[in-house]
């Protein structure tokens, strides 16, 4: 536990150093290279401690990495929506928007019909039916209980960071905004 806390403190100190260098320097590349070097120092030092400590330290470090990826996903969905709206807004021929929208919706409906047909055909060829799902609810409940009980603190903290704001706003996640 002491080793883990020491590495977390080291990570925080290195993060503070990188922040201070970034504030004092106008060169982003300098800050990036220093961050890469400090990360390599931490990574190399992890090879000299026990595997159990290394696994725990990596779980705690993954809060920052996975949190960053979750926040990128959170920003990406609205950004794509805004860029599509911007592209439609910049169209010179506004009369063509309705025709283009109808074409896109028609193509999507055709794709859904083809996918549904392939799914039905595959189920028929393989002889699949719903009898396999009769015992599924009890198995899923026990599996979910075991999975929830095995969540570590870093995984719990990472799971609190949203990835899809619309999914959170609908309440579809267990911990929503």
Averaged pLDDT in 10-residue chunks for the chain of 177 residues: 91 92 86 92 90 89 90 87 82 74 91 95 87 64 64 80 74 62
* pLDDT, position 146: 65
Q: What is the CA radius of gyration of the chain?
A: 25
Tell me if 86 is assigned to some domain: yes
* pLDDT, position 81: 84
Q: By residue range, what is the domain housing residue 56?
A: 1-93
Phi-psi region of 25 (alpha: psi -120 to 50; beta: other; left: phi over 0): beta
Question: Buried (b) or exposed (e) across 109-130, using 16+ Cβ within 10 A?
Answer: eeeeeeeeeeeeeeeeeeeeee
Tell me if 24 is assigned to some domain: yes
Could you tell me the two tokens for 46?
A: 């992890």
Tell me if 48 is assigned to some domain: yes
Tell me if 100 is assigned to some domain: no
* pLDDT, position 14: 92
* pLDDT, position 36: 93
Tell me if 121 is assigned to some domain: no
Tell me if 148 is assigned to some domain: no
pTM: 0.56
How many domains does the chain contain in total?
1
Tell me if 115 is assigned to some domain: no
* pLDDT, position 13: 94
Tell me if 84 is assigned to some domain: yes
Question: In terms of Cα–Cα distance, which of 52, 50, 61 is closest to 7?
Answer: 61
Could you tell me the two tokens for 14?
A: 């290195």
What separation in angstroms does the CA of 112 have from each of 100, 109, 129?
18, 5, 21
Contact status, residue 176 vs residue 168, Cβ threshold 8 Å = yes
């Amino acid at each position: 536990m002491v080793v883990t806390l020491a590495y977390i403190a080291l990570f925080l100190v290195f993060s503070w150093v990188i922040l201070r260098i970034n504030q004092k320097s106008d060169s982003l590349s300098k800050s990036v290279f220093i961050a890469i070097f400090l990360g390599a120092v931490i990574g190399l030092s992890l090879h000299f401690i026990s595997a159990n400590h290394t696994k725990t330290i990596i779980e705690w470090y993954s809060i920052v990495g996975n949190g960053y990826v979750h926040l990128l996903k959170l920003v990406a969905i609205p950004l794509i929506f805004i860029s599509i709206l911007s592209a439609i807004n910049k169209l010179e021929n506004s009369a063509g928007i309705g025709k283009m929208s109808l074409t896109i919706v028609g193509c999507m409906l055709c794709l859904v019909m083809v996918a549904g047909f392939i799914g039905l055909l595959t189920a028929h060829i393989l002889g699949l039916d719903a009898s396999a799902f009769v015992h599924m609810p009890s198995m899923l409940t026990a599996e979910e209980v075991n999975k929830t009980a095995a969540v570590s603190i870093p995984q719990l903290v990472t799971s609190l960071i949203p990835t899809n704001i619309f999914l959170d706003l609908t309440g579809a996640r267990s911990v929503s905004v």
